[in-house]
Amino acid sequence: MCYRSGLFFLFRQHQHPFSAEVIMGENKPWYVKVDEWVQGILAATLSVGMLFSAPVLFLIAFVAKVATFLLSIARKVCAFVLGLFGIDILSDDPFYLRRYGDSLLTSAVRSDLKDFNTVLWLLYWFELFAWGSMWSYVGETLISGVWGVLIGIALLVMPLIFARLTIVVDRGILVMDTPSVKRRFIIIMSRVFLLFFFSLLNAVPVELRVFASEIDRVREDAEKVEVDAIREKAKAYETERAESQKATAAPTVTGQADDVVARRQADRAGIEQRIEVAQKATARVAAGKGVSRRNQATALASAQKQEADIRAELVAFDAETERMRSAAADKGTDELARRDDALAAKLFDIEAMPAEDLAAAYGGTYKMPNGFMARYRTLLEIIEQDGKNQAIAWGCRLLMVLVGIMVLWSKFARTSPDTREYYRFLSQGFANNPEVVPYYIRIAKESGRPKVEHDQAMNVLRAVAGNNPAAAAALASLGYGGNVDVAGWDTEVFDLHGQFARACSCAARAYAEYESAFSALCTERVAHVGGLTAFGLARAEIVKSARAEWNRLAQGAIDGLSTVERRMYSKGIRVPGWPSELVEGDPRRKPILWDLSDEVLEQEWGWLRPIDEQFRSAPNA
């Protein structure tokens, strides 16, 4: 063995490890003997481990295999169920956010779509929890009888349906095209309305879950009151019945002693009659009638003894009668006492009787309704009774509102420009998306359409006609010569027209973002004069920052538009005018914002001139 215990290395430092004293003989130090014991234990442990390791490893592998199989089955079942409700959990796009396929699907768009899917998953499970809670409470009042199984299955499906309906609304917001401020405002306001509606609706089951223990306590207290009422009613009933039976039985019990005396009265009368006869006989003997004088004394003694015996018999008879009367009276008293004991035992049983048996035996209903509306009414009572509970309830509602705001935040505050372009219908048309171009072909061929829509459709068709035969055929059928003075349909010409339309769109969007940034600069407030008053930025700082924002946001797009125009000029192609659907106009025709006067900045852009510049611009400064 190559193992050595710590004791061996600890104590061998003053001895040679290969000395005979250490290795051989009876003079082994104690730590060497302990080391040998340790080696033996390690060898036995390794042997046992090698003996049982193979079966254990096989068992672990088998369990892992079975667990993997069961998880795969569960995943497929879950995918099938959710697939029925329009959610594909087996793909990387479970909520079908790739509305336009792979067209304009850049890495930035993929990243945003991944975030969108995460948000929708969170919302979906949250909605499923909320709706599942509500329908579970509804089910407690409906599941009964033969139809209980079918109703239970329906209640399992209902949360999936309602959660899916909510996700449809949220998904529609994420994939919606919002090119204009007006449309964006309409979407936000409609979403806010739906947000508060669904939030208040979904907050109810959440509140029921939060206050579940308190609701159960209130219900248990109410049920206890009802049970106590039934118990008191049962006690009163049993007591009244026992008293009635006792009152009925009391005369009978008392009359039993009188019956004993009455039954023995005739026998006593016979004994008394015999005493009277004996008295008369004694009197005749004493008078000397019927006997000789010589036998008179003996006859008198005999008559007197006979009379005394009869009188003793009467005394014994009366004693026996009294004993029998007392026994009958005691028996009646015991019967009444037994009835009292039976009543006490009955009352004790009623006190210990379970609520279900008590209600079944004596009638009455103690079970409180446990359905959705019953629990909701209890919840309202709990909230109204305590200000702390009201705060918790409003916290649940605020939480649901914040959960709903996640969609708006994801759509309007976090998406990249590429994602906005991906969901923009016009951009997909310029990108020659085969699902979008037929729409613009139809618009171009329809008469009576507004000029803006018609020009927009024609611009799209001109942009993609070089690569889309259907668009080229549509333009040819319309007899469109366009702005180009070339023979036939040159691919490069149409590509340049498409590049020009896209460059105009990018320039308009870039300038709108630059205007937003410039407005933020003008409305920014900083503290002056010891921090007591807030004013706008200095004019020089606005100019410097505005130039930087222009170079960062708009200059590249303007240069790109100019580059396309120069290429068109170099090819001898007449540059078309600014697209009419871009109502903002050509940004190159607009004034330079940082060169505007102070008055214009103050009146139109919300700039608040700093106090030192106000003094310098004053008439008497």
DSSP string, 316-367: HHHHHHHHHHHHHHHHHHHHHHHHHHHHHHHHHHHHHS-HHHHHHHH----P
pLDDT of residue 6: 44
| Number of other residues whose CB lies within 10 A of the CB of residue 574 | 11
Residue 171 and residue 117 share a domain: yes
| Domain tally, the chain | 5
- 10-residue stretch averages of pLDDT, the chain, 621 residues long: 42 42 51 69 67 68 79 77 70 81 82 85 81 70 55 68 78 73 70 74 80 85 86 84 71 63 76 80 76 74 81 81 73 71 81 81 76 80 83 83 77 75 82 86 84 80 79 79 43 77 89 89 71 69 88 88 76 71 82 84 82 47 40
193 CA to centre of own chain: 23
In terms of C-beta density within 10 A (0-12 exposed, 13-18 middle, 19 or more buried), how is residue 528 classed? Answer: middle
| CB-based contacts of 144, cutoff 8 Å, min separation 6 | none
Indicate whether 423 belongs to any domain. Answer: no
| Number of other residues whose CB lies within 10 A of the CB of residue 511 | 22
Tell me how long the chain is: 621
In Å, how far are 32, 187, 412 from 20, measured between CA atoms?
12, 95, 87
Indicate whether 474 belongs to any domain. Answer: yes
Question: 533 by DSSP, 3-state: which?
Answer: strand
In Å, how far are 184, 523, 601 from 593, measured between CA atoms?
26, 14, 9
Residue 345 and residue 392 share a domain: no
pLDDT of residue 139: 63
Residue 617 and residue 498 share a domain: yes
Indicate whether 62 belongs to any domain. Answer: yes
Residue 195 and residue 132 share a domain: yes
Question: 387-412 and 181-210 helices cross at what angle (nearest 10)?
Answer: 150
The rounded radius of gyration (Å) of the Cα atoms in the chain is 54
Q: Where are the beta strands (DSSP E) in 363-439?
A: none
pLDDT of residue 390: 83
Indicate whether 88 belongs to any domain. Answer: no
pLDDT of residue 143: 56
Indicate whether 292 belongs to any domain. Answer: yes
Q: What is the pTM of this model?
A: 0.49
Indicate whether 100 belongs to any domain. Answer: no
Please answer whether residues 226 and 358 qualify as being in contact, where contact means their C-beta atoms are separated by less than 8 angstroms: no
* Alpha helices (H) in 571-609, listed in sequence order: 598-604
Residue 193 and residue 157 share a domain: yes
Residues of the domain holding 347: 217-362
Indicate whether 51 belongs to any domain. Answer: yes
In Å, how far are 276, 334, 465, 496 from 569, measured between CA atoms?
168, 129, 20, 11
Which uninterrupted H or E stretch holds 525? strand 525-528
pLDDT of residue 182: 67
| CB-based contacts of 440, cutoff 8 Å, min separation 6 | 429, 456, 457, 460, 461, 471
Residue 223 and residue 190 share a domain: no
Residue 200 and residue 124 share a domain: yes
- Going by their DSSP bridges, the two strands 533-536 and 525-528 should be labelled as antiparallel
Residue 222 and residue 197 share a domain: no
pLDDT of residue 526: 73
Residue 603 and residue 524 share a domain: yes
Residue 351 and residue 237 share a domain: yes
Residue 126 and residue 234 share a domain: no
pLDDT of residue 1: 40
Q: Which amino acid is at 8?
A: F
Indicate whether 113 belongs to any domain. Answer: yes
Residue 113 and residue 65 share a domain: no
